[in-house]
């Protein structure tokens, strides 16, 4: 029995998926409302960036010259007030390692402008609202089909974009400096949802039947989560690359364009972006490892072998090795920085290819049936 035929059998063992029309309807309304609110958030983020560009951040080449002396100078940790030392808590002085550019983080999209900051806050609130709507949309969709919401590309896309925003909001809630991600994320989430509702839309009951295994649920849900986090990480990497070349240019006396300066100056320093991307990718790597193993366990139950180099498995493996390569690169002299960043992007490319490319380009499992029916015709029936 070929794995393909087994898949067919396994895949066809569906859950009872009586679709609930009104829930499906509700899901669509919620997704469209989420898109509307994301659009508002998008404009609010734009306003944040525009207002932010008004206030000229005095972050020019001067700021980029190594401030070794300044930093190396002793920190004043004991203040004198009225003759008695007041010190609630000793202040920790932090200094950069040698060889690093000592650039401070940008202030964020609002660039220190009060109105910009206000718009930024509005944008985040709108993002929260849109997220809740989208989450409701995904949930009602799942309820309407009585299974997990990743039965087809449409459901997969709405689920993963919602997860991406969830990751972003979680980082914000953890007080991480990530608001600068907002504009980019809402843009891509809008594009993704737009694509989903127009090109990929599938009636809620036309589903590839879900499979009877909780391992599959675990496997796919962690895979989606990993994808969302990898996505945020990849964006951090891209911004790092931009910011790094910007800083290099300044350090070498170059003159970046006004637009580039205006945008990039407000982002965190290249070193911070690099660290952000690393943290994100490193944090999710064990989960990705787990995802692959959960998939292998499920394959063991469904197909009788836990690993068989099927294209999906192969690309998960490639993605895993590529991310392991990235983590290694950061520990290898001569590979830190930009080279490692390119590796991280390549690894994310592998992930993307696995989820979209393999579905679209590498398929053709069902030729078996046609061949069979040909025999039937040849026999005269």
Partner 1 sequence: MSTTSKTGPGKTGTGPGTPEQEQGLDAAGSRLSTAPTEEPPNLPSLGVIGWARWFWRQLTSMRVALLLLLLLSLAAIPGSLIPQTGIDQTKVADFRERHETLAPIYDKLGLFNVYSSVWFSAIYLLLFISLIGCIVPRTWQFVGQLRGRPPGAPRRLTRLPAHTTWRTGAEPEQIHRAALALLKKRRFRVHRVGDAVAAEKGYLREAGNLVFHLALIVMLIAFGWGQLFKSEGNKLVVEGSGFSNTLPQYDDFKSGNLFSADDLEPFSFHLEDFRGTYERSGPNKGTPRTYEADLTYSQGAYGEEEKTTVKVNEPLELGDAKVYLTSHGYAPVVTVRDGEGEIVFQDAVALLPLDGNVTSSGVVKVLDGYRNPEGKREQLGFQAFFVPTFGGSASGTMISQFPALDYPVLALNAYHGDLKADSGIPQSVYQMDKTKMKEFKDADGELFKKLLMPGETMELPNGAGSVTFEKDIKEWAQFQVVQEPGAGWALGGSVAAIGGLAASLFIQRRRVWVRATEGADGVTVVEMAGLGRSESAKVPEELGDLAAILYEQAPGAPDPEPGPDPGPDDGPDNDPDDGPEASSGPTDTDSRVTPAEGAEKQ
Residue 48 to residue 45: CA distance in whole angstroms: 5
Cβ 285 vs Cβ 327: under 8 Å: yes
Q: What is the contact mask toward ligand HEM in residues 127 to 166, using x (rule: CB under 6 A)? A: ----------------------------------------
- Three-state DSSP at 274 gives helix
Residue 206 CA to its chain's centroid (Å): 28
Q: Please give the residue whose beta carbon sits closest to ligand HEM in the complex.
A: 331
Which one of ligand HEM, partner 1, none interacts with residue 368, CB within 5 to 8 A by kind? partner 1
The only residue of 50, 143, 260, 318 in contact with partner 1, by rule CB under 8 A: 318
- Binding-site partner at residue 82 among ligand HEM, partner 1, none, CB < 5 to 8 Å by type: none
Separation CA 186–CA 320 (nearest Å): 28
Nearer residue to partner 1 within complex by CB, 29 or 296: 296
Query: Is 52 in contact with 109 (CB distance < 8 Å)?
Result: yes
Quote the DSSP letter at residue 369. H
Min dist CB 321 to ligand HEM, Å, is: 6
**Using the 8-state DSSP alphabet, how is residue 8 labeled?**
H
Q: Which is nearer to ligand HEM, 331 or 378 (CB)?
A: 331
Cα atoms found within 13 Å of the Cα of residue 242, Cβ hemisphere only: 16
State how far the alpha carbon of 102 is from the alpha carbons of 71, 105, 237, 241, 278, in Å. Answer: 9, 10, 19, 17, 19
Residues 336 and 329: their CA atoms lie apart, in Å, by 6
Which of 271, 280, 341, 345 is in the footprint of partner 1 by CB under 8 A? 271
Residues within window 22-81 making contact with partner 1, judged by CB under 8 A: 66, 68-69, 72-78, 80
CB of 280 to ligand HEM, least distance (A): 14
Q: Which of 58, 62, 70, 84 binds partner 1 (CB under 8 A)?
A: 84
Q: By the 8 A CB rule, do 296 and 227 touch? A: no
Q: How far is the CB of 104 from partner 1 (least distance, A)?
A: 11
Taking the least distance from each CB to partner 1, the nearer of 88 and 173 is: 88
Q: Is 279 in the site for ligand HEM (CB under 6 A)?
A: no
Per-residue binding string, partner 1, 279-308, x by CB under 8 A, is ---xx-xx--xx--x--xxx-xxxxxxxxx
| Interactions with partner 1, residue window 151-190 (CB under 8 A) | none
Is residue 167 within 8 A of residue 232, CB to CB? The reply is yes
H/E element, 79: strand 79-81
Q: Does 331 bind ligand HEM (CB under 6 A)?
A: yes
Rounded Cα gap, residues 44 and 132, in angstroms:
18
Q: What are phi and psi of 271, to 5 degrees?
A: -60, -40
| Candidate list 28, 324, 338, 352; residue touching partner 1; CB under 8 A | 324
According to the binding rule CB under 6 A, does residue 328 interact with ligand HEM? Answer: yes
318 binds ligand HEM (CB under 6 A): no
Nearer residue to partner 1 within complex by CB, 258 or 373? 373
Q: Tell whether residue 17 is a contact of partner 1 (CB under 8 A).
A: yes
Closest CA to 97 of 132, 129, 66, 53: 66
Name the residue among 121, 231, 136 with its Cα closest to residue 184.
231
Helix (H) or strand (E) holding 324: helix 311-329
Nearer to ligand HEM, 95 or 328 (CB): 328
> 65 CB contacts (<8 Å, ≥6 apart)?
none
In the complex, least distance from residue 272 CB atom to partner 1, rounded to whole angstroms? 8
Residues 85-144 close enough to bind partner 1 by CB under 8 A: 85-87, 89-100
* CB nearer partner 1, residue 131 or residue 240: 240
Nearest to 120 by CA among 162, 171, 187, 181: 181
The CA radius of gyration of the chain, in Å to the nearest whole number, is: 25
**342 binds partner 1, rule: CB under 8 A:** no
201 binds partner 1 (CB under 8 A): no
Q: Which of 207, 232, 237, 263 binds partner 1 (CB under 8 A)?
A: 207
Where along the sequence are the contacts to ligand HEM (CB under 6 A)? 324, 327-328, 331
């Amino acid at each position: 029995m070929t794995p393909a035929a087994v898949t067919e059998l396994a895949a066809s063992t569906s859950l009872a998926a009586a679709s609930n029309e009104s829930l499906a309807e509700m899901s669509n309304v919620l997704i469209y409302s989420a898109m509307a609110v994301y659009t508002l958030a998008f404009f609010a983020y734009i306003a944040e960036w525009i207002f932010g560009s008004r206030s000229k951040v005095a972050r020019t080449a001067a700021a980029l010259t190594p401030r070794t002396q300044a930093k190396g100078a002793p920190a004043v940790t004991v203040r004198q007030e009225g003759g008695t030392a007041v010190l609630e808590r000793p202040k920790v002085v932090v200094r950069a390692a040698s060889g690093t550019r000592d650039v401070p983080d940008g202030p964020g999209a609002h660039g220190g402008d009060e109105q910009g900051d206000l718009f930024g806050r509005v944008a985040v609130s709108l993002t929260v609202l849109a997220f809740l709507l989208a989450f409701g949309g995904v949930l009602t969709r799942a309820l309407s089909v009585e299974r997990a919401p990743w039965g087809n590309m449409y459901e997969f896309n709405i689920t993963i974009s919602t997860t991406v925003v969830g990751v972003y909001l979680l980082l914000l809630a953890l007080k991480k400096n990530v608001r600068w991600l907002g504009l980019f994320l809402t843009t891509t989430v809008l594009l993704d949802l737009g694509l989903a509702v127009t090109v990929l839309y599938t009636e809620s009951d036309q589903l590839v039947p879900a499979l009877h295994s909780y391992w599959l649920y675990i496997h796919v849900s962690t895979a989606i989560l990993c994808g969302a986090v990898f996505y945020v990480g990849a964006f951090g990497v891209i911004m790092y690359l931009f910011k790094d070349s910007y800083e290099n240019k300044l350090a070498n006396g170059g003159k970046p364009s006004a637009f580039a300066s205006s945008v990039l100056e407000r982002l965190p320093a290249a070193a911070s972006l690099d660290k952000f991307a690393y943290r994100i990718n490193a944090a999710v790597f064990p989960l990705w490892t787990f995802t692959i193993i959960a998939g292998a366990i499920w394959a063991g139950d469904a197909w009788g072998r836990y690993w068989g180099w099927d294209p999906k498995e192969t690309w998960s493996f490639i993605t895993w090795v590529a991310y392991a390569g990235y983590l290694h690169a950061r520990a290898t002299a001569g590979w830190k920085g930009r080279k490692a960043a390119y590796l991280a992007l390549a690894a994310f490319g592998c992930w993307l290819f696995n989820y979209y490319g393999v579905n679209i380009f590498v398929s053709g499992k069902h030729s078996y049936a046609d061949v069979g029916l040909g025999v039937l015709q040849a026999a005269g029936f």
